[in-house]
Homo-oligomer: A and B are copies of this chain.
Amino acid sequence: MDVALFTLLPEEGLAIVLGTRDRDPFAGRPALFGGFLRPGSDGSATDAAHRLLAEKAGLADVFVEQLMTFSGPDRDPRGWSVSIAYYALVPFGRLAEARPGLAVWPVGRMPPLAFDHDRIAAAALARLGGKASYSTLPAFLLPKTFTLPELKAVYEAVLGTALNDSAFRRKVMEMRILEEVPEKRGATAGVRRPAQLWRLAADRLVEFDRTV
């Protein structure tokens, strides 16, 4: 099992959160959060991904989704191996709860990782970019409530392209993926134009219809 954890840096955009291998092979090398599945005590591989993030990153209740399973003779110098890989998304503010010592790297400047973790991280990034175009996935990088410009910025970070303001707002409203939050940001601080806050209408990932 390996979990690629991503966050959104306030300035530098999409970033990967890494641990450090504490033993050979690859001792001292940055790595995804990995460990063995425990059949019996883990309810499923998804439960195991949550357990690994809790144990190795100190983070509970993080969004996780299965990426794919990697296998073969070359991914671990100790021999033929299989790893069910997951990706996970955490809002930047929640990294304050994480275990100390984690490294956060903008995805464009990732260091070389242990095992085949570069390949897993690249596959996870491709999946994020693809799925951003037809789902609420990027919103799981934001706090529970956010402004529309913040939502647009996280879609832009994950898609890697600039989006048109009004087309984005129209699409989001058509999709009915958001609901208004009663409080506005800045409303109590006497700001002249407090910003409307939104949250996802559903707790779970929502995928949109796609057309040919």
Taking beta carbons and an 8 Å cutoff, which residues of A are in contact with B? 37, 39-40, 42-46, 66, 68-69, 71-73, 80-82, 84, 130, 132-134, 155, 159, 163, 168, 171, 207, 210-212
Contacts and interface: CB of A to CB of B under 8 A. Distances in A.
Number of this chain's copies in the complex: 2
Contacts of A134: 210
Given A66-B68, A133-B212, 9 more contacts: A39-B82, A42-B71, A44-B72, A45-B69, A45-B82, A68-B68, A69-B84, A132-B212, A171-B212
A189 B35 CA distance: 64
Nearest to A209: B133
Contacts of A132: 212
Nearest to A44: B72
Given A44-B71, A132-B212, A39 B84 contact: no
A14 B134 CA distance: 25
A90 to B, nearest CB: 22
A82 B37 contact: yes
A133 B207 CA distance: 14
Contacts of A207: 130
Contacts of A168: 212
Nearest to A172: B212
B159 A37 contact: no
Contact of A37 (B45, B71, B163, B212): B71
A25 B93 CA distance: 49
